[in-house]
Amino acid sequence: MANKQTVISVENMSKQYRLGDVGTGTLAHDLNRWWFRVRGRDDPYRKVTEANDLTESGAADYVWALENINFQVQRGDVLGIIGRNGAGKSTLLKILSRVTGPTIGKVKMKGRIGSLLEVGTGFHPELTGRENVYLNGAILGMTRREVASKLDDIVGFSGCTRYVDTPVKRYSSGMMVRLGFAVAAYLEPEILIVDEVLAVGDAEFQKKCIRKMKDVAKNGRTILFVSHNMTSVRNLCTKGLLLRAGTVQLTASVEECLDRYLSDDANHERKRKENYFGDRICRLDSVLLQDESGKDRSDYQTGESTTLNLEIEAFEDSPNTAFHIGIYREDEVLAAFVNSERNHFSIDLESGRRTVRCRLSNVSFSPGRYMIYVTIISKGIAIYSLANAAALQIHSNGRYEEGRRPYLMLDDEWQDT
Amino acid sequence: MEHREKNDADHGWDLVIEPKYGLLHLQLDDLWRYRDLIYLFVRRDFVAQFKQTILGPAWFIIQPLLTTIMFVIVFKKIANLSTDAIPPILFYLSGNILWQYFAVSVTNTSETFQSNANIFGKVYFPRLVVPISIVISQMLQLTIQFLFFLTFWFYYRFFQDVDLHVNVFMLLLPVLVVNMAMLGLGCGIIVSSLTTKYRDLRFLLRFGIQLMMYATTVIFPLSSVTSDSVRIFLLANPMTPIIEAFRFAFLGNGSFSWVYLAYSFGFGCVVLFVGMIVFTRVEKNFMDTV
């Protein structure tokens, strides 16, 4: 297809940053570097590197924020760039929007680029809304004629029509953001680069922005989008680029990238976490998942049944003890919740060990990874909780359409009458 | 096409971002495309500067007026320096507004990177837009001050019977202004490029500009300098021929020479060219060091 043309191509691109105070030793370093270059040697500071890990303080003064990045974007793609803090997302966007340059490698692009790393860049508080629309538009690369022809639409979209001749220093911060986004929304670039800007507005405005960006994408334009809001990434993007510690981990569909990102995240951070409320009365030793044949198993297909074995260690007697089980998706959405009291089940715990079983039949979650959270209740009061007690991995049973991600998969029966 | 293609592999791309470009990769076409932004920055500076002031643009006039009065008192009445038979007010005012144009242009453009770091960190546009718009908005200020100068000129011409003539050299005025703009812009962007990393130069600049005024013929005429070595020193300063030429054209007295003026213009061209090369090399990565 002619319109499946590559519009962005990043080739072996790396970016190095210097850490710490630029003032000390800098001149000496620069002279040294210059002396190496004069003799035709490599830059001596380029070798001093280590993996970019924010949690460990490294000894090196230089760090690769991005290392050997390669990817391509086709016209009409909506690419979601995901990764943890410090993975290099913002650095990548900065290089693509030409705010800073790469240290090595090349980036090639086709078409007009509009980058939105911030809304309302260059707004001057003393100028009126109208004047700022012109100024901001020009900063983003529009001519005065273009702004003039779109002025009414821009002001209308922002909802600031009444205040357009008031200096923006009298605006509320929300109005300022709306006006800033409105200008960018009418920029109509062929490639739009957006970073986290949606985080600022209220829910209504965020929806409006997402809708606007979807419109932009429908017109065959290319969007690069960075956000920590997984829902908006899932909503908006078609392709994904997963960054980790400055390298590309995965380029695939946005679903695959989000899955990988979330499961990486789970392996790293979703540790079992015990909590006692008040005295130590009892605790959970383990939570094991068993299938119908009694075998230990944590991988299931949609619609299978599973049994949770709660192995309890009680330190004291505790009458009238009940259990709450919450099952969370990886994006922290509560997918299911059961309360044993509602099922008229409670036990009188005596000190010692004991196992309680809970059978969950027909678990019709859509494929993905789920975490189990157990709370022990005594006489209506929570006494103990165990977060991330066990992981439940659901696979597709093949009956459902791939590529869609509903919360639940229902058993459907059809009749022709 | 935004850039010259370097080789066949890059052919067909509108934009190729690389770590290093050639020395002459100045992207002037890009700058031309952003000419509306220059206009809007100039407008912003002009409009925003006098919001919530009572006197507004009158400040453009008050400042050189007070300085001139001070000069008249100190250098004429107390020190009794020569003004080449020109009424002292006209003499000092002419030197003053020209010098101020250059000095403010240099100081303001030299802070391009520091004072715009927040915008530069968020969006790309040719960075030269900012210093150019500064020099142009200073030009507006100069125009108002020049009109103010002309009112004095008419006053002395018609009411004081001072021997002032309209002459053909007055047509040189635009050339002189452009020459000063080139000098101011060129020096300013060189300093701003050098100060992204080592800020020492900023202090040197503020203080250096003040000192340099005394090495320019602002408060004395070149004709009053008798020592040859000092004369050469003063003429090496490219601002001296400009101020002398202005006085020659409007006040009929001053050391005018095409050679000096050509030197000054050539100096301006070289400084601006070097400045643009240095500036475009720095602008790409300055966000990492500023």
Residue of B nearest to A106 (CA): B18
Asked, for residue A289, whether it belongs to a domain, the answer is: yes
**Co-location of A220 and A369 in the same domain:** no
**Co-location of B16 and B39 in the same domain:** no
Interface of B with A in 191-210 (CB under 8 A): 197-198
**Co-location of B120 and B204 in the same domain:** yes
**Co-location of B18 and B162 in the same domain:** no
**Co-location of A91 and A198 in the same domain:** yes
Quote the minimal CA–CA distance from A92 to chain B in Å: 12
> What is the pLDDT at residue A312?
92
**Co-location of A294 and A241 in the same domain:** no
**Co-location of A256 and A369 in the same domain:** no
**Co-location of B20 and B133 in the same domain:** no
pTM for this entry: 0.74
Asked, for residue A164, whether it belongs to a domain, the answer is: no
CB nearest A107 (choices: B17, B119, B287): B17
Asked, for residue A161, whether it belongs to a domain, the answer is: no
Q: Which domain holds residue A359?
A: 273-395
Yes or no: say if A160 and A129 are a contact pair by the CB < 8 Å rule. Answer: yes
Contact status of A2 with chain B (Cβ, < 8 Å): no
**Co-location of B104 and B151 in the same domain:** yes
Q: Which domain holds residue B7?
A: 1-26
Pairwise CB contact (< 8 Å): B40 & A18:
no
Asked, for residue A286, whether it belongs to a domain, the answer is: yes
> What is the pLDDT at residue A265?
63
Residue of B nearest to A193 (CA): B123
Provide the number of CB pairs (under 8 Å) joining chain A to chain B. 109
Spell out the SS3 assignment of chain A: CCCCCEEEEEEEEEEEEECCCCCCCHHHHHHHHHHHHHCCCCCCCCCCCCCCCCCCCCCCCEEEEEEEEEEEEECCCEEEEECCCCCCHHHHHHHHCCCCCCCEEEEEECCCEEEECCCCCCCCCCCEHHHHHHHHHHHCCCCHHHHHHHHHHHHHHHCCHHHCCCEHHHCCHHHHHHHHHHHHHCCCCCEEEEECHHHCCCHHHHHHHHHHHHHHHHCCCEEEEECCCHHHHHHHCCEEEEEECCEEEEEEEHHHHHHHHHHHHHHHHCCCEEEECCCCCEEEEEEEEECCCCCECCEEECCCCEEEEEEEEECCCEEEEEEEEEEEECCCCEEEEEEHHHHCCCEEECCEEEEEEEEECCCCECCEEEEEEEEEEECCEEEEEEEEEEEEEEECCCCCCCCCCCCECCCCCCCCC
**Co-location of A244 and A284 in the same domain:** no
Provide the 10 A C-beta neighbour count for residue A91: 23
Report pLDDT digits (tens) over A194-225.
887 666 667 777 777 778 888 888 888 888 98
Quote the minimal CA–CA distance from A383 to chain B in Å: 50
Pairwise CB contact (< 8 Å): A100 & B288:
yes
Quote the minimal CA–CA distance from B3 to chain A in Å: 11
**Taking residues B284-290, what's their average pLDDT?**
69
CB burial class (10 A; 0-12, 13-18, 19+) of residue A68?
middle
Pairwise CB contact (< 8 Å): A121 & B47:
no
Report pLDDT digits (tens) over B80-116.
888 888 888 999 999 999 999 999 999 999 888 888 8
**Co-location of B75 and B196 in the same domain:** yes
**Co-location of A94 and A225 in the same domain:** yes
Pairwise CB contact (< 8 Å): B15 & A117:
no
Asked, for residue A379, whether it belongs to a domain, the answer is: yes
In total, how many domains does chain B have?
2
pLDDT band with cut points at 50, 70 and 90 for residue B2: very low
Least confident of A206-210, B117-121, B141-145: A206-210
**Co-location of A86 and A17 in the same domain:** yes
**Co-location of B40 and B4 in the same domain:** no
> What is the pLDDT at residue A274?
85
Asked, for residue A101, whether it belongs to a domain, the answer is: yes
Asked, for residue A65, whether it belongs to a domain, the answer is: yes
In total, how many domains does chain A have?
2
A-chain CB neighbours of B122 within 8 Å are 99, 117-118, 121
> What is the pLDDT at residue A76?
85
**Co-location of A35 and A88 in the same domain:** yes
**Co-location of B112 and B6 in the same domain:** no
**Co-location of A290 and A247 in the same domain:** no
A-chain CB neighbours of B43 within 8 Å are 131
**Taking residues B6-12, what's their average pLDDT?**
58
**Co-location of A295 and A242 in the same domain:** no
Among A250, A266, A282, the domain-final residue is: A266
B-chain CB neighbours of A105 within 8 Å are 19
Contact status of A151 with chain B (Cβ, < 8 Å): no
**Co-location of A381 and A329 in the same domain:** yes
Q: Which regions of chain A are under pLDDT 50?
A: 1-2, 21-25, 47, 49-59
CATH of the domain at A290: 2.70.50.60
**Co-location of B22 and B131 in the same domain:** no
> What is the pLDDT at residue B6?
44
CB nearest A138 (choices: B37, B47, B285): B37
CATH of the domain at A247: 3.40.50.300
**Co-location of B123 and B40 in the same domain:** yes
**Co-location of A379 and A281 in the same domain:** yes
**Co-location of B78 and B107 in the same domain:** yes
Residue of A nearest to B116 (CA): A122
Yes or no: say if A272 and A282 are a contact pair by the CB < 8 Å rule. Answer: no
Report pLDDT digits (tens) over A36-70.
777 777 666 654 544 444 444 444 567 788 888 89
Task: Report the C-alpha gap between B123 and B129 in whole angstroms.
Answer: 13
Residue of A nearest to B289 (CA): A22
**Co-location of B58 and B180 in the same domain:** yes
Asked, for residue A154, whether it belongs to a domain, the answer is: no
> What is the pLDDT at residue B182?
95
Residue of B nearest to A15 (CA): B19
